[in-house]
Structure 1
């Protein structure tokens, strides 16, 4: 096998499993470990991976921070698939939480069509405004506090204190990204992350709502680990190594 072919195959393995080990690659390609280390060094210089002790990991994309008004216009059809799945999980007489998320905006719109009797608690202004048009079967509660204009919702200590008084049957939480291999779930704003963590702690069952592409990007602030949630609702299944990690942590993939 030529060097270029080996380098491409190393990247294929890395993209599938998220990490590689020098010892395993040495055996696979029947070359010395020093040869593999040189390969990894070359790929790192090309910006293709990040070397670690004994191997290498993917360089993950950093998610971009946009205002809610801009994010609402992106991936509408994909987010609608997720919203439809979420609505099917909500049962009559449940109390649910919808946090700051463009997918949750679509869930709120879908709730307008249901006859189920639901109490919806939210810290997002747009969700509250949407559900203000709902029939009497929907009770709306707003977790107010300090308004974050870019997120169009309430975050901070007073919001968190309000949330702590509840025990939600189900919560639906948005995220900027999830790294299945280091098990972290991220967002951008620290205060938003603390509020998300508070919602999780106050929920009997937590669903992460996110597009499949977010398995490969990260935000700046880790607000939870994957074993803090119960399930992930997404538009399509990720690759098998990610599925294996989720199953090993008893995370349902919907």
Structure 2
């Protein structure tokens, strides 16, 4: 295929990675080529296992329909997650009450809270609790820790369910730091676990500020369950600048974007 053809295929993937789905007619108009040419590009990309064709277009190739375990997530894109954690930690102020979600990205911000004074942290992840407890025992973290009790999800090392949601009602947090399975501009954050979604929504609706923490690989991803809408997000902290295709919508929804460098 020609160089121009490869550039067009890259443009198709860029759009797909942000939107999760593309329509052939829209691509033909945007790239100024025939529908037949678009069909060929999509066939090539499907053969390369970079997308899945559907009637009238294509969707993003999902590698799994099941949530990966924490250990699998922990070793992926570590440096990007550290940068995101450091940038998110700058939003935390002395005396804040914050919620830290389950996730290898949200967990990173804990390492950058050492100079914060009188912080209270609410968690429901065993991994996050363990790290905070270690830091507290070592005298590195001097704040308070509250763990939401509930049904234990051993595979993912967290709790969910009605008991955890009831406990969450006792807190009004200044900032909620939320992890992301999939992020789309028109549908917000989606995830694999319905019960986790209930708990996160409960916390977000009682938070003064909601911060989504994610690397760029989650853009365009859509999973079975709605976690929170884009209108519920105040800030997105990620490892790249805001996509041009999202800029207008982000402004309309008053969502700030932090590029963690």
- Offset of residue 20 of structure 1: 5.0
Secondary structure at the aligned position of 1:232 is classed as strand
Contact 2:24/2:38 (CA < 8 Å) preserved in 1?
A: no
Equivalent in the alignment of 2:223: 219
Residues 57 and 179 from structure 1, CA distance in 2 versus in 1: closer, same or farther, beyond 3 angstroms?
farther
After TM superposition, the structure 1 = structure 2 runs for residues 60-79 of structure 1, keeping only pairs within 5 Å, are 60-62=61-63, 65-79=67-81
- Find the partner of 2:86 among 84, 87, 100: 84
| Aligned equivalents of 2:241, 2:208: Cα separation in 1 | 24
Normalising by structure 1, report the TM-score. 0.82
After TM superposition, the structure 1 = structure 2 runs for residues 25-174 of structure 1, keeping only pairs within 5 Å, are 25-26=28-29, 29=32, 35-36=34-35, 38-43=36-41, 47=46, 48=51, 50=53, 56=57, 58-62=59-63, 65-111=67-113, 113-132=114-133, 133-134=135-136, 135=139, 137-174=142-179
| Aligned equivalents of 1:26, 1:5: Cα separation in 2 | 20
Number of paired residues? 243
Residues 159 and 73 from structure 1, CA distance in 2 versus in 1: closer, same or farther, beyond 3 angstroms?
same
| Aligned equivalents of 1:200, 1:123: Cα separation in 2 | 14
| Aligned equivalents of 2:100, 2:106: Cα separation in 1 | 6
Residues 57 and 116 from structure 1, CA distance in 2 versus in 1: closer, same or farther, beyond 3 angstroms?
farther
Consecutive unaligned residues of structure 1, counting only runs of 5 or more, are none
- Find the partner of 1:177 among 165, 173, 182: 182
Normalising by structure 2, report the TM-score. 0.80
Contact 2:121/2:146 (CA < 8 Å) preserved in 1?
A: yes
| 2:192 counterpart of 1:198 | no
Contact 1:179/1:217 (CA < 8 Å) preserved in 2?
A: yes
- Offset of residue 70 of structure 1: 2.4
Equivalent in the alignment of 2:19: none
Give the structure with higher Rg (CA).
1
- Offset of residue 196 of structure 1: 1.7
